[in-house]
Amino acid sequence: MSIFVDETTTVLVQGLTGGQGRFHGLRNRDYGTKVLAGVTPGKGGTDVEGVPIYDTVAEAVGATGATASFVVVPPRFACDAILEAAKAGITFIVCITEGIPAQDEALAYNRLVREFPATRLLGPNCPGIISPGKTNIGITSGDIALAGGPVGIVSRSGTLTYQALHELSQQGIGQTTCVGIGGDPVPGTNFIDCLEAFEADPETRAVMMIGEIGGSEEERAAEFIGSRMTKPVVAYIAGVTAPPGRKMGHAGAIISGSQGTAQAKMEALETAGAVVAANPTEAGEKMVEIVRNLP
């Protein structure tokens, strides 16, 4: 199985007429994702390589029945696009937009929680989600993913998401779903959301978790792993050598005092029973070993 999305998921792309929206939206369609529509205000009635464009998400949903949205719009429009999708009844939103102010993210996230509890947001500033052989929403290359399970992947880092997929696929280890949650301070979907879904998925038999410095999400995930997870977890935390007080890459990747350090996160995960790797390649190797020894 897969989590959150599968081969039945129907998708509209908010921003399909833009350069990035067109490139990634059509790549998703070519992968086999059911991309049914695009949304760009003022361009309704046109199309992008046969994909019809609508002025509003509500019009697109009414015409196609799409259940998921891929948001590829500039930062100043992204939160409005997310809320428009939720209002139109979209239940799964992937937003790859980078550079949204944290205050705007927090306002949009809290409105989703209060007003649209049935809608899940992935991102912003994330690579998206891929269930190999079924559907791909976002910017992950389908070429590096391998269908057939049994590993679920959840990652804060886009680049390390790709490396994890590639290294497992090179070893013939397939994935059920790979979720890039993004590294912004206010993620719509967090580690625990994904770990809980993987724990409930009968075809996911092991999980790879990739975190990084900053915040406390990895420590919270460690508590969940220690108390709720029955499946093996391999973890890697990026940023061991990062200096305190300096932002490293993601807006959420900043260390404050003794909190948010890679070492603290690694210790919490080890205490919870996860297998903690020293580098991304070792994480792949440890996962291959675990999978090959599954009963």
Please, which residues bridge with residue 131 across strands?
135
Amino acid at 206: A
Kindly report the number of other CB atoms within 10 A of residue 294's CB atom. 10
In angstroms, the CA 202 to CA 188 distance is 25
First to last CA, the chain: 19
User: What residues form DSSP beta bridges with 234?
Assistant: 208, 275
Which one of 250, 260, 269, 272 is the catalytic residue?
250
Query: What does the alpha-carbon distance between residue 182 and residue 176 come to, in Å, rounded to a whole number?
Result: 19
8 Å CB contact between 168 and 286: no
* Neighbour-count burial of 233, counting CB atoms closer than 10 A to its CB (0-12 exposed, 13-18 middle, 19+ buried): buried
Q: Is 250 in the active site?
A: yes
Burial class (CB in 10 A: 0-12, 13-18, 19+), 277: buried
Active-site residue numbers?
250
